Structure 1
Amino acid sequence: MDKKIVIVLVVAVVAVAAIATAVLLMNGGEKEPTYEYNGRLPIFGNANDDDYINNDDVQFIQDIIDGKITGSRVVSVLLKYDDGSTVNRSLADANADGTVDSKDVELVKKMVKREHGIKINYINVDNVLSTCNYPLTSIGLAYKTVYELAAAAGLTSEEVKWVCDSVGDVPGKGELRQWYPQFWDAKCFGNRATPDYESMVGDMPSCIITGTKRYYVKTGEETLGSRGVDIIRLPTYEDGWAVPGMLMLGYLTDNEDKAKKYVDMADSVYKTIAKYVENIPMMDRPFVFASHNASAVVDYKNGYLEPVVLAGASTAIDRGYPKGNVDAETIKQMDPEWILLQPWHGLLEQTDGSVTDTFIWDLKKLYEDDMKSIQAIDHTNAYYNGKVLMDTQGVRMGAASFILTAYIANHIYPGVFNFDVEKLYKDYMTAYHPGVDADAWFEYTYFDLEFADKKYKELIN
């Protein structure tokens, strides 16, 4: 059996003009990268590390072979085997065999022509070098963020043949079903973490697109890989920055135009912020304490911090606080300038009633949870100064997260950014969820302490 390769460090970055990535925004050039690949399209063969697989990559590889491109212009990653040994790989090494040669040129030519049946090597969300067949055809989806990306990429039940019980028509389940009617004709394989593999026998998908192995389709590679099913752990970093996952999904499904439409929308926010904050040291950026209910310091790759750092802020982790549970006194001592709380329910997330009923449920959790949420922060300077923002999980994680990033940036950099958050939101919903009453959800999706206080007082009175 081949040894599994895990990517642990970027050792060179291509010298091309591009948006500052999530890693650069997170670290301000001061710390080691949180994510080992810093680019946007994590596919081997993307030799010049831009957003496309095209003839520029063919020429780039040929120039490496001819000695015209050397040194830091060659994007390389240090790969670690599961036995502890390491080896360098270049993104120009399309077949990932350890050598940049004419074989890579020929493979990338096939990738540019979109020849069916070729093997694509890529970096997944867990920083593991993985392989899949091109193009993706009979697809299974097993994680909430990939449903949103698949919808944005224009996929329907024509391509998506299997879904998990979050979207499937299953009594007592289907908490995300209402948001994704384009997948209603797909069959259901059960739980997103532990699918019922036997239910797919006789009608296996060619691939299952999912998230990190820590939580989702945990034994997929071992159980389904031997049956020819590719387990694609889409790089959404997890899940507050969806650009790499969207670009990769667009390429693998021949939907690059639709993927680019999304990326352009997201970049209108990301690039604007990146340009402004690129020379601001991390410790000089506004300190935002982001937590679901103010009970813990969370680390990267949970989706809480990524939209915050992409907005140009620093986090508790960046300031040296260890991840783990915290109490109210610790939060007070941290003295964050801003606090971001994130209720679970809301737009693009499970709801148990009307829009208003859903908001009331979240509002009660915000104000009435013992020593959590509002009760955990109501003695902080951020609270006294009204610098508390709220959002919901459905827009915090996945493709819609760039809108939250714009909302945060407007607040923490007043007078610098003035993104039209409502327009971004409505454009997004019109493009990807035209059947949803976007107007009804907006004011309950991104809101501040003043709005929450007003609504809670109305509720209890």
Structure 2
Amino acid sequence: MNSKIIAIAAIAIVITAGCGAFLLMNDEEGGYRSTDNTGRLAIMGNANNDDYLDKEDLATIDAILDGTVNSDDYPLADANNDGKVDSEDRKMVERMIDREAMSIYYVNGNDEIKSVSYPLNRTVVVGTNAALTMQAVGAVKAGKVVGTTGEATKDYCLFSDFKDLPKVSTSLLAADYDAVTKIGNVDAIITMSSKSYLKNESTFTEAGIDVVRISSSDGMKAISVALTIGYLLNLEESANKYAKFCDKVISHVTEKKNTIDSGDVKTCLCATMANHVSGTISDFYGLTTMCGGNNVADWSTTTKQFNDGDEWLLNEKYHVDVFIHFHNYGYDTSADLSSMYNTYRENFDAIQTVKDGNYYMINGNMPAVVRLAYTASILYPEVFGADYGDIVHQEYIDSFIDNLSSEGYKVTDMKFVLTDSDFGITS
């Protein structure tokens, strides 16, 4: 791995590990402008590592060229990705500031530098979290999504704006090449960073269709994803609006977390899928610690499975105050959630926390920052308010999910956090 990739990866680690520490915002009469300088806008040419591609990047390149600053501290300054920062990068950034149609470089969800034809105008989306990101930055409303997969957007309430788009497969993970080319003039496939998605990537790239891999399910890194994909789609205004929303929530959670006395800190564990308990490198682990929880998971893998007959989770050290299970169950207010809840709860009903009635299920069909708000309200309702998750969620829908907001969707008509009391289960 070359030094530039290492430097960019280091920036990405900072983004993921400590968002709340440096998300300072200005919201004065002159308008909002983020002061984040961790390279969340992962576009080569964003020389000064902020959230914008503008003349300040030229100033940073000038400082590099005259020796005032070290180029190693500004890995995104190498706009043309040729391994050095020189006058050619300055010329390229000038063109980028003018938003010329051109080939540019960006950092994808796997921290790889890739080229893409800018701007993207006709994209196909593969993956549910990718679809959520495209909604948040206004890509669907702007007509920049021209196809998707049936499984990824099967929640026809949340994704009603995808319903009439051509489907390029029935799978969550794949796209059929013939179905994509039948749509015509597709610029790119937007999909997830995992190689489980779009295993036939080379078929598309060899045909001149870019593949943009994003890590939008990766906790707070999703803000970087939104800013970057927003730039590639020439939807920077809406992407920055979304970043502002996320920054506001994270800043509020951080401020409130710092008021919690050490003696009042709640212990917790969280789970995903059917029976996988999240480890220390899991995004869900990060959500619980970000809002002040003491997550007692002590294994350094993403998850650890708890199968029928296993006893490891019954150890007293895992007897926590709160057990949170993240599971996607959609936005349909008429859905019967009882059997689903009982099925997933039964996977953990042997542990003491669940027996005590402290099992919570959070609907995972939401961006990380909204899941953060719900997690905070579960752990510390007296600090954040029991309805804090619903308040943040409603603002998210009203501001970014046009198909739901136009129908007057109210999150209080649906239960986005489920507990035993919702189904008459007593301890």
Distance 1:356 1:201, change over 3 A: closer
2:392 is matched with which residue? Answer: 424
Using the TM superposition, give the Cα deviation of residue 62 of structure 1 relative to its aligned residue in structure 2, in angstroms: 1.2
Give deviations 1:35-92, integer Å, cap 9, x for gaps: xx964222211122111111111111111111112387x14xxxxxxxxxxxxxx111
Distance 1:141 1:443, change over 3 A: closer
Q: Determine if contact 2:267/2:296 at 8 Å carries over to the other structure.
A: yes
2:100 is matched with which residue? Answer: 115
Q: Determine if contact 2:38/2:50 at 8 Å carries over to the other structure.
A: no
Using the TM superposition, give the Cα deviation of residue 210 of structure 1 relative to its aligned residue in structure 2, in angstroms: 0.7
1:332 is matched with which residue? Answer: 314
Q: Determine if contact 1:345/1:358 at 8 Å carries over to the other structure.
A: no
Q: Determine if contact 2:126/2:174 at 8 Å carries over to the other structure.
A: no
Q: Which amino acid aligns with 1:392?
A: N
SS at match of 2:131: helix
TM-score w.r.t. structure 2 length?
Answer: 0.80
The answer to whether the aligner puts 1:161 opposite 2:146 as a matched pair is yes
Using the TM superposition, give the Cα deviation of residue 136 of structure 1 relative to its aligned residue in structure 2, in angstroms: 0.4
SS at match of 1:213: coil
1:439 is matched with which residue? Answer: 410
Among candidates 321, 336, 339, match of residue 358 of structure 1: 336
Q: Determine if contact 2:137/2:238 at 8 Å carries over to the other structure.
A: yes
Using the TM superposition, give the Cα deviation of residue 363 of structure 1 relative to its aligned residue in structure 2, in angstroms: 2.5
Q: Which amino acid aligns with 2:167?
A: C
2:154 is matched with which residue? Answer: 175
1:54 is matched with which residue? Answer: 54
2: distance between equivalents of 1:237 and 1:53?
A: 25
Q: Determine if contact 1:292/1:342 at 8 Å carries over to the other structure.
A: yes
2: distance between equivalents of 1:301 and 1:197?
A: 35
Q: Determine if contact 1:288/1:339 at 8 Å carries over to the other structure.
A: yes
2: distance between equivalents of 1:261 and 1:63?
A: 30
The answer to whether the aligner puts 1:248 opposite 2:228 as a matched pair is yes
1:410 is matched with which residue? Answer: 377
2: distance between equivalents of 1:241 and 1:13?
A: 11
SS at match of 1:95: coil
Distance 1:188 1:411, change over 3 A: closer
1:43 is matched with which residue? Answer: 43
1: distance between equivalents of 2:341 and 2:397?
A: 24
Q: Determine if contact 2:219/2:283 at 8 Å carries over to the other structure.
A: yes
Structure 1 range deviating more: 90-99 or 210-219: 210-219
Using the TM superposition, give the Cα deviation of residue 306 of structure 1 relative to its aligned residue in structure 2, in angstroms: 4.3
Distance 1:315 1:7, change over 3 A: farther
2:250 is matched with which residue? Answer: 270
1:34 is matched with which residue? Answer: none
| Identical pairs, percent | 22
Among candidates 19, 22, 27, match of residue 16 of structure 2: 22
1:100 is matched with which residue? Answer: 85
SS at match of 1:394: coil
Q: Determine if contact 2:49/2:76 at 8 Å carries over to the other structure.
A: yes
Using the TM superposition, give the Cα deviation of residue 207 of structure 1 relative to its aligned residue in structure 2, in angstroms: 0.4
Q: CA RMSD in A?
A: 3.6
Give deviations 1:381-406, integer Å, cap 9, x for gaps: x763x5443211212xxx3x312212
SS at match of 1:119: strand
* Number of aligned residue pairs: 397
Q: In the TM superposition, what are the counterparts of 1:44-443 in structure 2 within 5 Å?
A: 44-70=44-70, 74-75=73-74, 90-116=75-101, 118-156=102-140, 158-166=143-151, 175-190=154-169, 191-201=171-181, 203-220=184-201, 222-238=202-218, 241-274=221-254, 287-292=267-272, 295-299=275-279, 303-313=283-293, 315=295, 319-320=298-299, 322=301, 323-326=303-306, 329-333=311-315, 334-347=318-331, 355-367=333-345, 369=346, 372-373=347-348, 375-377=349-351, 379-380=352-353, 384=356, 387-395=358-366, 399=367, 401-413=368-380, 416-418=383-385, 420-431=388-399, 432=401, 433-435=404-406, 438-439=409-410, 442-443=413-414
Q: Determine if contact 1:234/1:245 at 8 Å carries over to the other structure.
A: yes
Distance 1:249 1:285, change over 3 A: farther
2: distance between equivalents of 1:325 and 1:341?
A: 13
Q: Determine if contact 2:123/2:188 at 8 Å carries over to the other structure.
A: yes
Q: Determine if contact 2:397/2:405 at 8 Å carries over to the other structure.
A: yes
Give deviations 1:223-250, integer Å, cap 9, x for gaps: 1111111100123253564211111122
Give deviations 1:149-205, integer Å, cap 9, x for gaps: 2122222373222211236xxxxxx62344333334432211342321122335241
Q: Which amino acid aligns with 2:342?
A: K
Q: Which amino acid aligns with 1:183?
A: F
TM-score w.r.t. structure 1 length?
Answer: 0.75
2: distance between equivalents of 1:133 and 1:147?
A: 20
Q: Which amino acid aligns with 1:224?
A: F
Q: Determine if contact 1:355/1:441 at 8 Å carries over to the other structure.
A: no
SS at match of 1:402: helix
1: distance between equivalents of 2:382 and 2:226?
A: 31
SS at match of 1:290: strand
Q: Determine if contact 1:22/1:309 at 8 Å carries over to the other structure.
A: no
Structure 1 range deviating more: 253-262 or 404-413: 404-413
Distance 1:332 1:437, change over 3 A: farther
Distance 1:70 1:8, change over 3 A: closer
Using the TM superposition, give the Cα deviation of residue 356 of structure 1 relative to its aligned residue in structure 2, in angstroms: 4.6
Distance 1:46 1:299, change over 3 A: farther
Structure 1: which 5+ residue stretches go unaligned? 15-19, 28-36, 76-89, 168-173, 348-353
Q: Determine if contact 1:139/1:162 at 8 Å carries over to the other structure.
A: yes
Q: Determine if contact 1:6/1:128 at 8 Å carries over to the other structure.
A: no
SS at match of 1:273: helix
Q: Determine if contact 1:359/1:444 at 8 Å carries over to the other structure.
A: no
Distance 1:6 1:206, change over 3 A: farther
SS at match of 2:424: helix
